[in-house]
Structure 1
Amino acid sequence: MALPQAGDAPETGHGPTGEAELFREQVHLLYASLPPGLLVTLINAGLLVVMEWQAVSGARLAAWLLAVAIVALARYWLIAYYRAAPQAHGTRVWAQYYAVATLAAGSVWGASALWLFPAALVPQVFLFFLLTAMTAAAVVSFAAIFPVALAFVIPVLAPLALRLSLAGGRWHHAMGLVAVLFMVAMLLTARRIERTIATSLKLRFENRTLVARLQDEKTAIQGLNEELRREVAARSRAAEELKERETYIRAVLEHVEEGIVTVDHEGCLRSLNREALRIFGYEQDELLGSHFSQLVPPAERSEYARFLESRLEQGGERLAGYGLEVNGLRRDGTVFPMELGLSAMSVGARRGFVAVTRDVSARKRTERFKSDLVATLGHEIKTPLTSALGSLGLLTETGAATLSGDDARLLRIARSNMERLARTVAALLDADNPSVALTMGAPGPLALLGLVEDAVMAEAEYARARDVRLALDPCSNAMVVYGDRALLLRALSHLIVHAIHLAPAHTTVEVAVTFEMGFGVVSIRDCGTALSKEARAHLFDVHEDGAPHVAVASHGLGAARVIAERHQGTVGYEAREAGGSLFFLRLPARTPRAGDRA
């Protein structure tokens, strides 16, 4: 008896995979329906033994019942094995195991028709109805696979029909014929049931496939809906962000201190921010759509037009850098000075201009006032300062022979400081060039040790005021440097003053002069707390133009750096390992020669 292969199953429309799945499901149905069948088998076997106990020998009944029990136990073990390890064998192997077990069961029950056939008619009729009834019930359970049903129906009914035909009586022949017809009917029924089950399973698989496809479509549609929701949300966020950005830009434009005006390619005003309206004295509605020449003095309108034409011919986005000083016209007819920056812009295919304006009337008034003030101060301060400086110079030249060494040195220091003060005042009064205070005068050979002595003496009083002792190393070397005496004294003073600032009270700031490989090095050491790395990084900073601010030029280390660099030297700072700070000034130097002045 051959079981159907997976490919023998009816066409499912799903290919070999669907056919194998159909066959696997048929086998599963067989194993699922077996446990109730085993229970019915045992009950029927017991009932047969009871009914034929008087008609058949007890030994035969016992032997047959034992065979039924053994086959039922084997079939039960097969069920347990299948449930425990369904992957242990292929589907066809499980089907073969089941068919063999069914054939064994059918053979045992068919043996009852031969071995347990009673002599009396009534027990014979009971046996006939019991076997046919069992066959009918079995067909329903085994018809999932037709060969399995065949393995049970023929072994049960064929022996019964044969035994009845051999009995010899008319009734027995009729019952045998009925048994044959019933067997044929059961086989046909089994075939129809198999086809019905196969069709039902195929429909289930197709429905499952359809449901899976529908689920996939549903998932895809849900994905599209989710993507659509994300897209809508993203566009909503983009719209909100755009609205916020527009609000933000509008707020910025309304609160900047410069007036911002946009003009189209025809010269018509398209927008003005709050400051522009305030500068020109108009309301927004009064200017929108008007020509920009309304904001320009009549006498200068043609000049404005020529200027714009020339800038447009040159091309580029920036037509005029911010800071161009022009005149504007207020609503009340007042002409006022303003700074103007003009740039080209494009919005799609449309071209326009952006003008940035600032009312500089107040600044112009301030500049005029400062100019007048500087002229007054230049006369009131420089005149007596020049007189005092001349008197000190005359006293230094005429009294050098009669004054003691210390008095002469103090007089020389006073004259040097007065010269430095005169240069600083001149720089402060020069509003257009505040860094002129650092401009070198006539350079010449200078005794570096003498310069340092003068600087130490000049700052000695400041050190005493802070309870700090200022001392010059007696072992310092004498050498000559080339430069401006006043500027070098200023650089030394800056370094010494900063060292005094860092020194704790009751300590000493030591100043020494050494000669190192063609350079004179002035070292200024204190015992205070070393500066942090952040402070050191900006200690000698100067402005981008290379010159420090006026205040720094008078009191900061930035001025010392500029002075040193203008003398081809350097200044620097080091944190001492023993604690405290070391400021130093390095200048190109040589040994003294005859004729060098102090």
Structure 2
Amino acid sequence: MPAVQDANRPDADLIRQLLKHAPIGIAATLLNSSILVFIQWRVISHSVLLIWLGAITFVTCVRYGLIYRVHRLLPHQYDPSRFYTQLLVGIGLSGTLWGSAGIFLFATNSITHQAFLAFVLGGMVAGAAGTFSAVMRAFFAFSVPTLTPLIMRFFLLGDEFHLAMGGMTLLFWIMMFFTAKRLNATTLAIFRLNASLAEAMEHAEAINEELKLEIQERIKVEEELRRHREHLSEMVAERTAELTAANAQLINEVEERKRAQEAQRKSEEKYRHLVENVSDVIYATDKDGIITYVSPTVESLSNYQPAQILGRHFTEFIHPADLATVTSSYERVDSIA
């Protein structure tokens, strides 16, 4: 957290605080100086009064011009340290001129006018305790030269009344010092709190920006996941449709195979029934002429059992007179096959 302190080069917040109350101090200076000259007019030389009033008016106008010029400048167009020095010089000159009133406007023959002078100077210091308390150097620059000549004048006169007046004026300055110190501590605490709050707000805004970015990133991720889910759903739907079609095709093929097997079974049964019930002998041979099958009718048409015929060459059961013709026919059929 940036430190806010009453140092030789205070930050912009302290300077702005001085600028904020400066118009009040300038107005009070012009008004009170005029009233003081009016009251002292009968007991102090007119030329001294007019010179003093002209000098304090000139310094006040210069201070106002400086403040007005700074107000018209943008923050980056002026040097805070330089302006702070100029401001302290102006405040110090103003305090010195007010303090000179304790020398040149001191009515030696009128205690009433002396008391009024002390009242005016004390009032200016009291106002400075509030106006310049943000920067204690400014308070010292004004209050010390304002009251020191008057206090010394009271003490130098040496009588009880003036010693009491000098002591009371010194005590008043001490009280104003502690008042300004307390106001200064309060002001600095407020500045520190404002700086802390500003830093906390910046931190909160930074966190808020991070959260916004995180939310945006999360939204992007969720959108990407949603697209992936939709794409996956489409792929699953397509794959499911393909599997359903393949399954339906497989079922059709299985049904077709079952129907083919059933047709084959029925065909074999018909063939077997035909072979087994035909009145002629039906037999089958391999490529070497060995009998591999013979119909059951062989038993009723010959003296052989099927088992006696299987595994033997078919020529063994051909009449010798027909052997050449049968063999020739068999060879032609075998060559075609």
TM over 0.5: yes
**SS at 1:329's partner residue?**
helix
1:237 equivalenced with 2:217 (yes/no)? no
Structure 1 residues 21 and 221: CA distance shift in structure 2, 3 A: farther
State the distance in 1 between where 2:98 and 2:138 align.
Answer: 15
Residue 129 (structure 1) aligns with? 119
Structure 1 residues 330 and 33: CA distance shift in structure 2, 3 A: farther
Question: Quick one: higher RCO (CA 8 Å, sep 6+), 1 or 2?
Answer: 2
* Counterpart code for 2:16: H
2:51 aligns with one of 63, 73, 82: 63
- The answer to whether the 8 Å contact 2:88/2:141 transfers is yes
- The answer to whether the 8 Å contact 2:150/2:166 transfers is yes
1:79 aligns with one of 64, 67, 80: 67
Return the offset for 1:21: 9.4
Matches within 5 A, 1:209-288: 209-251=199-241, 260=246, 272=247, 274-277=248-251, 279-280=252-253
Structure 1 residues 68 and 22: CA distance shift in structure 2, 3 A: closer
Structure 1 residues 80 and 51: CA distance shift in structure 2, 3 A: same
Q: Which has the higher strand share?
A: 1
Structure 1 residues 172 and 22: CA distance shift in structure 2, 3 A: closer
Structure 1 residues 195 and 335: CA distance shift in structure 2, 3 A: farther
Structure 1 residues 188 and 161: CA distance shift in structure 2, 3 A: same
Alignment TM-score, normalising by the size of structure 1: 0.40
Alignment TM-score, normalising by the size of structure 2: 0.68
Residue 130 (structure 2) aligns with? 140
Residue 168 (structure 2) aligns with? 178
Residue 114 (structure 1) aligns with? 103
Residue 186 (structure 2) aligns with? 196
Structure 1 residues 276 and 77: CA distance shift in structure 2, 3 A: same
State the distance in 1 between where 2:46 and 2:106 align.
Answer: 13
- The answer to whether the 8 Å contact 2:99/2:147 transfers is yes
- The answer to whether the 8 Å contact 1:99/1:151 transfers is yes
State the distance in 2 between where 1:40 and 1:186 align.
Answer: 18
Q: Which has the higher helix share?
A: 2
State the distance in 2 between where 1:231 and 1:160 align.
Answer: 79
- The answer to whether the 8 Å contact 1:153/1:186 transfers is no
Q: Structure 1: which 5+ runs fail to align?
A: 1-12, 261-271, 281-294, 297-327, 337-598
Return the offset for 1:161: 0.8
State the distance in 2 between where 1:235 and 1:82 align.
Answer: 59
Return the offset for 1:276: 4.4
* Counterpart code for 1:90: D
Structure 1 residues 330 and 22: CA distance shift in structure 2, 3 A: farther
* Counterpart code for 1:329: R
Structure 1 residues 334 and 127: CA distance shift in structure 2, 3 A: farther
- The answer to whether the 8 Å contact 1:140/1:190 transfers is yes
Return the offset for 1:200: 2.2
- The answer to whether the 8 Å contact 1:31/1:79 transfers is yes
* Counterpart code for 2:89: V
Percentage of identical aligned residues: 25
1:105 equivalenced with 2:33 (yes/no)? no
Return the offset for 1:332: 8.3
State the distance in 2 between where 1:20 and 1:48 align.
Answer: 34
1:30 equivalenced with 2:38 (yes/no)? no
Deviations 1:361-389 (A, max 9, x none): xxxxxxxxxxxxxxxxxxxxxxxxxxxxx
* Counterpart code for 2:92: L
**RMSD, aligned CA:** 3.0
Structure 1 residues 141 and 244: CA distance shift in structure 2, 3 A: same
Deviations 1:58-115 (A, max 9, x none): 2222211111210111101111222233445533222111110001100111111211
* Counterpart code for 2:167: L
Structure 1 residues 50 and 214: CA distance shift in structure 2, 3 A: same
Structure 1 residues 53 and 333: CA distance shift in structure 2, 3 A: farther
* Count of residues in correspondence between the two structures: 261
Return the offset for 1:41: 1.2
Return the offset for 1:195: 3.0
State the distance in 2 between where 1:32 and 1:242 align.
Answer: 68
Residue 149 (structure 1) aligns with? 139
